[in-house]
């Protein structure tokens, strides 16, 4: 399965994808939209996609905690630091949302963002996610507690 978005290729990662494993292991919570597992599983409840630019891995998109009976999933993205602020995250996440709503027939997507991650907050809000709540001091990182902001978007909101 592959999506092409302008200069990006987004394709399903395999469970033994060494580059995705390394990317996940090297990821810093400060640039992550939400928690990620270290390895792609591509099970009925999780799918991991490679984001490539000019055949180079620049990030990943992850559908996790998929609940088919509720037609919903969590969505997260990780872009390597040297490829951030170039519009790749917006293009890739938008493509993933189209895939989720049009191909997977999901009704709802959810995202968790750390309160200090202003770039991710701007990204999800730009793509139409609505703030639904705050988990106060729910993330402990480097000696300090941070809030996690919960976002959601419904299929009919995305289609507008």
Question: Please, what is the Cα angle at 42 between 37 and 44, to 5 degrees?
Answer: 110
Instruction: Please say if the pLDDT value at position 31 is more than 50.
Output: no
pLDDT at 153: 98
CATH code where residue 52 lies:
3.40.630.30
15: number of Cβ within 10 Å: 12
Average pLDDT (95-107) is 96
Instruction: Please say if the pLDDT value at position 40 is more than 80.
Output: no
What is the per-residue pLDDT across 77-98, written as a single tens digit (0 to 9) for each? 999 989 999 999 999 999 999 9
pLDDT at 36: 47
Using the CB atoms, write b or e for 34-60: b if 16+ within 10 Å: bebeeebebeeebbbbbbbbeeebbbb
Full-model pTM? 0.86
Per the structure, how many domains does the chain have? 1
Average pLDDT (93-111) is 96
pLDDT at 41: 54
What is the per-residue pLDDT across 128-154, written as a single tens digit (0 to 9) for each? 999 999 999 999 988 999 999 999 999
* Whole-number average pLDDT of the chain: 88
Q: Which region, left, alpha or beta, applies to residue 94 given φ > 0 means left and ψ of -120 to 50 means alpha?
A: alpha
Q: Cβ(62)–Cβ(48) under 8 Å?
A: yes
Structural domain boundaries, residue 95: 2-158
């Amino acid at each position: 399965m592959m999506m092409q978005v302008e200069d990006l290729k987004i394709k399903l990662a395999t469970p033994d994808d060494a580059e995705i494993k390394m990317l996940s292991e090297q990821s810093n919570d400060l640039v992550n939209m939400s928690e990620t597992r270290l390895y792609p599983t591509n099970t009925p409840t999780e799918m991991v996609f490679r984001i490539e630019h000019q055949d180079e891995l620049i990030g990943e998109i992850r559908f996790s905690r998929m609940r088919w009976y509720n037609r919903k999933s969590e969505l997260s993205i990780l872009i390597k630091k040297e490829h951030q602020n170039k519009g790749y995250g917006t293009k890739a996440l938008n493509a993933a949302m189209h895939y989720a709503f049009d191909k997977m027939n999901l009704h709802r997507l959810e995202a968790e963002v750390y309160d200090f991650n202003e770039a991710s907050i701007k990204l999800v809000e730009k793509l139409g996610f609505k703030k639904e709540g705050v988990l106060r001091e729910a993330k402990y990182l480097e000696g300090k507690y941070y809030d996690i902001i919960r976002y959601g978007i419904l299929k009919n909101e995305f289609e507008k």
